[in-house]
Amino acid sequence: MKLIALLSAAVLAFGATPASAAPAAKTGPKTVAYIEVNSNSMLNAGKYTLANGGAPVFDIAVIFAANINYDTAKKKAYLYFNPQVQQVLDNAATQIRPLQAKGIKVVLSVLGNHQGAGFANFPDKAAAEAFAKECSDAVAKYGLDGIDFDDEWAEYGKNGTGQPNDFSFVYLVSKLRDTLPDKLINLYDIGEAASKLSYGGVNIGPKFSYALQAYYGSWGVPKAQLPKDRLGPAAVEINSSSNAAALAKRTVSEGYGAYVTYNLTASNATTYISGFTKELYGSAAVYTR
């Protein structure tokens, strides 16, 4: 007993903590939660578990959203965090690590911001790769599990920016994948970039971890060339889309590997969420505040 006490003291002296229990495992599609951090907590993703086995309902929690902004003086795109996103990142110890400890991956969505900058209009390869470095630096600095690209609201051409070209997104994703070989890089299947996945003999579809449907309450197979188990054709808005269970059932019956949800608030949505978890995992959901 004295030896155990001494070892424990030594562990604490070096700033480590005893290993926590391994997260509960489950089989079935990955459930993704896009969380609007301007008004909701990332911790909402960790409040739901399966009644059978106790595994988290949500496998991937998306910080929605950082932005690709445009500096008109320097004529370059850059990665921008609004105050709410920055608050989540700066408080990773309390906003991100608790989810990761449960086995939930936390990724950062990057979204257009009405300034003309998008993933499809970098002026050259160097600019695309510079933005890739900003993304990979953010993943490293804040201990994230990856990046999610959402090419909405770019407003290409605004502020004198260029129109979409064929090479930008290919260079961006290729560089990011080289830099982050073991992290998630997800495609939200919307916007100009989502249709520009090939250039110079390179197809970046297989470089994505998952490609996800972007229209809530509907079914649509993403265009990226990925196997079914890395595609999410079903997307629902929690407590809004009435066909959540039907889309979950189709996801399983057709062998797809992801199920997309949006707008996870602090309210107890157990009944709604159980509707799709019963189809995805054969279990109701449990909510813990």
Q: Which of the residues are catalytic?
A: 152
Distance CA 132, CA 62 (A): 18
Cα torsion through 137, 141, 146, 149, rounded to 10: -50
| C-beta neighbour count of 114 within 10 angstroms | 14
Residues in CB range of 96: below 8 A, 6 or more apart? 42, 88, 89, 106, 142, 143, 144
192's tokens? 């100009």
State the chain's maximal CA–CA distance in angstroms: 71
Alpha carbon 204 to chain centroid, angstroms: 18
Go through the chain and tell me how many residues it has.
Answer: 289
